[in-house]
Amino acid sequence: MPRFPHLSSRLERLTGSVFEKFLPKMRQKGGDLVRLHIGDSYLPPTYPLPLADEFMQKHPFFNRYGNTLGVEELRAALAEKVRRDNRLPVSPDHIMPTAGACNALNISAAGLLDPGEEALVLTPAWPFFFGMVKAADGLPVEVPFYTRLYENPQLDIFSYLEQFISPRTAALYLNTPNNPSGKVLNRAQLQQICDFAREHRLWLISDEAYDGMVFDGREHLSAAAFPEMFPQTLSVFTFSKVYMFAGLRLGYLVAEHPVLKNLNKLMVHQLYSPSPLAQYLMVAPVKTRREWSAAFVEHCRELRDLVTQNLRVPHHTPEGTYFTFFSIRGCLNGREYWEVIDQCLDAGVSVAPGNDFGKDYGDYIRICFAGESPGRLNIALERLNRVLAGR
């Protein structure tokens, strides 16, 4: 059984980079080694590129194949970030850049689950994770969770989770700050999840895409920072949220080095490596994050307040992320759920349907409050209030 510390058997079928066995000797030879083994060209692109000369000079390998475990400069910057901000005991060897958090979650699911094994998915959850578990021939077991914590912050999480476990459970998928509910787990809540995972030897897949996007003085806590949890946890981060750069398709996975090396075998067969250009682009923003990130989070908090003040439907105040997630059952007035979604579109506002986030949320909708300017968000809220009121 591939419960912690075992990985999925599919990894045994795959080999890593074909050049890996030569790396120690190649490193030892250094600059004298003439590298004829890789299929790449020594020239920078000979057509114009809209990149600053200074950047290309500083990172002359921006256009080349890079180490599939990540470019050194970014791993070093991220190790410093993860140590300080997330309090994880890491070196650059514990960091692997990926093609977004999406790719990190995919290789985590495929690398942990053998066919027929189950992953507990705390819901509401990011829709694609269910498909990733299924693509790995696993079974997602939905555990309605974050919305319950709004109603009952004292929920006995350990006992609650035990209702969902089976002899085939291999992993637990956790997401704080939570998309779509905006829930941010506190220390006591996260501690119980960690205790549960340790007790049952489950791998934790800790999706921290909204790392740092927390409001009202809250703190984002990383599960892997809890005692004994680092070896048992795959922590997933992204540049798509606080870094405002979804178009980069860059994220990173934090775990023990042997785990990363194994999951890397899946990644190299999917896409070789995430973009070295993207990785070099993010070295400076990681280092300067304290200079700019707080203002963005504060702006999201303002947008959150705009929603909580103007949305005329009962909803919980999001504690983090840029989402609000609420039931519209009380607004249907005889209409079908999908009819209302369609009426929203007709009124000129698109919302995400709740059932994508878990089967218990068929009468919910999710709205993102950071994807449009405050002016347009206000227009959307007026339209939404009108449709939901049935006017």
Residues 230-269 close enough to bind a second copy by CB under 8 A: 240-241, 243-250, 265-266, 268-269
- In this chain, which of 5, 9, 65, 216 binds a second copy, going by CB under 8 A? 65
> Could you give the angle at the alpha carbon of 196 between the alpha carbons of 194 and 202, nearest 5°?
85
**By the rule CB under 8 A, 270 interacts with a second copy:** yes
**By the rule CB under 8 A, 158 interacts with a second copy:** no
Report the relative pairing of strands 95-98 and 251-254 from DSSP bridges: antiparallel
* Residues 131-150, interacting with a second copy (CB under 8 A): 131-132, 134-135
Cβ contacts of 305 within 8 Å, gap of 6 or more: none
Peptide bond into 274 cis (omega under 30): no
What is the closest distance, in whole angstroms, from the C-beta atom of residue 249 to a second copy in the complex? 4
Cβ contacts of 180 within 8 Å, gap of 6 or more: 124, 321, 323, 325, 352, 357, 364, 366
* Residues 172-211, interacting with a second copy (CB under 8 A): 179
- In this chain, which of 48, 217, 227, 334 binds a second copy, going by CB under 8 A? 48
**By the rule CB under 8 A, 309 interacts with a second copy:** no
**By the rule CB under 8 A, 284 interacts with a second copy:** yes
What is the closest distance, in whole angstroms, from the C-beta atom of residue 123 to a second copy in the complex? 15
The mark string for 357-376 relative to a second copy (x by CB under 8 A, - otherwise) is: ---------xxxxxxxx--x
Backbone phi and psi for residue 18, each to the nearest 5 degrees, phi listed first: -65, -15
- Distance from C-alpha of 388 to C-alpha of 241, rounded to nearest angstrom: 29
What Cα–Cα distance (Å) separates residue 290 from each residue in 232, 242, 297? Answer: 29, 11, 11
What is the closest distance, in whole angstroms, from the C-beta atom of residue 316 to a second copy in the complex? 17
Q: What is the dihedral of CA 24, 25, 27, 33, to 10 degrees?
A: -160
Q: Give the tokens for residue 177.
A: 């700050």
- In this chain, which of 150, 160, 164, 296 binds a second copy, going by CB under 8 A? 296
Stretch that binds a second copy, among 6-14, 86-94, 141-149, 169-177 (CB under 8 A): 6-14
Cβ contacts of 76 within 8 Å, gap of 6 or more: 92
What is the closest distance, in whole angstroms, from the C-beta atom of residue 295 to a second copy in the complex? 7
Which of 295, 319, 307 lies closest to 370, judged by CA? 307
What is the closest distance, in whole angstroms, from the C-beta atom of residue 241 to a second copy in the complex? 8
**By the rule CB under 8 A, 84 interacts with a second copy:** no
* Residues 96-135, interacting with a second copy (CB under 8 A): 99-100, 102-103, 106, 127-128, 131-132, 134-135
H or E, element range at 344? helix 337-347
Stretch that binds a second copy, among 156-164, 185-193, 252-260, 340-348 (CB under 8 A): 340-348
- Rank residues 30 and 227 by Cβ distance to a second copy and give the closer one: 30
**By the rule CB under 8 A, 354 interacts with a second copy:** no
Cβ contacts of 170 within 8 Å, gap of 6 or more: 1, 2, 3, 112, 113, 114, 117, 118, 119, 138, 202, 203
